[in-house]
Structure 1
């Protein structure tokens, strides 16, 4: 009984492997080829079946070979007859083709003679064309020389244009820097003006508050308050004057910006115009310095007003202390005078 995994197909594969290596497919050799598996009886039975099958196939092949030989002989005779007929037809076609080709050769010779005559005429024409070509080539050389000269001139012109463009870009860059400087100066001046305006407004508000307090509490100091109001009006007028001057400066700066814009189309005069702008900037800076000095003077005057207000406040406090320390009799004795003083105090107020 065969072991598991041994069948006729495996035995056939082992036998074919041995035959391929040129070895005799014995039972032991087949068993070794199968890895020492399977019983020798089973292997012997499969080998016998395989040999019988191959013997039957050999006999069938022999009988088939005889029949095929007869068929091949008949087919060969038929092919020989058809080949002879085909050769005869090809000979007839060859004769006809040979006659046609001879006629074509005759016509080609006649055509060749005509072409030779045409070639002679074309040769003369070609000679004329060669002369024309030589003249045209000489003219072309002259034109190439002229073109090279024009090309060099064009390159020189392009180089000069490039240098001109570079100068224009340089001038535009300088103008842009000048415009930026003017814009920066205008912005700084504007910010400084706004700061001074806010500071002045804050000072004005503080002064007005102090003035209202003094008007409510210091009736006897009406003259000093009037002077302070006049000083306040003078400060307001000076502030308006300063604002007007700053507006004029801003207008001058805008006009200068317009002049810078026109400089782009007047490059030949840009250097002189830039120097003029620099001189104007110097004047503006000097005017700004004067404005700063005027603002410093204004601040000093404001401080002086603060000092005056502080002195007035101190004087009022002293008067209050003196009034509080007076005896009742002195108060009664001084009533007429107080009334008189009150009347005198009312008159300025009514006025």
Structure 2
């Protein structure tokens, strides 16, 4: 009898526990699993019986296992072939859709690049027109300043001419007074002509000399007035020329403003086209995401098929184990029946 109260069932449970942990069911390992009880010879005998029993069960299950394998192998091969065919078809479809999407994406990117180049060119033209507009505006401001200066000079010349006119009128007034004084002197000299003839002649000569000086002064003033009139005419001509230049510059500015507005409209259209292309790019990216999601779903379905195949293999193994258990129980029942018959005899 085995010492320590061990039996075959305890040895079998200890052996199964070691196998479940992935350990080799040696005599010492089984004895340690049993709590260091039982003799090694008894454990060795029980282990040998268990190994022989498993070998017999394996030999008995070979025929049924081969038959089940022969039935399941075509089904498994068919499932594997259908799964691989489905995966290949889905992969080809996905590659075609990916190639089409990449071609469309490249086309859209090329359109975006062309629009960006066009927008850059329009922006450069707009900047150049803005600089020309600024330069024309500065020229207009300079022309306005020059016109204001000429207007002020004209006003100064007019004031100067007015002063000259006042001086001429003053000289004429003096000349008139002189003539009146001369006439009065003549009237007075009639009464004293004989007594003051010489003094009268001397005074008359002096007055005539002063009159000649006044006339010469008047002639000089008239020459100055003529020169001032000529200068005024020249300034008026220059003012008219400056005014004509100012009108032409304003017309050029108006034309440049119209061209600038047209370029701005083209830039707005370019931005609108760019936004439309960007929206199309977003839609294409969304479609790409949907295609990717479809591909992921198809991959998940293929993985599910693989998992189903693995589950079928697992069920096959479990079925084999169940058949082996049934055969073991049938063998044990036959052994018990045989033992009972021997006891009866």
> Is the TM-score greater than 0.5?
no
Normalised to the residue count of structure 1, the TM-score between the two structures is 0.39
Normalised to the residue count of structure 2, the TM-score between the two structures is 0.40
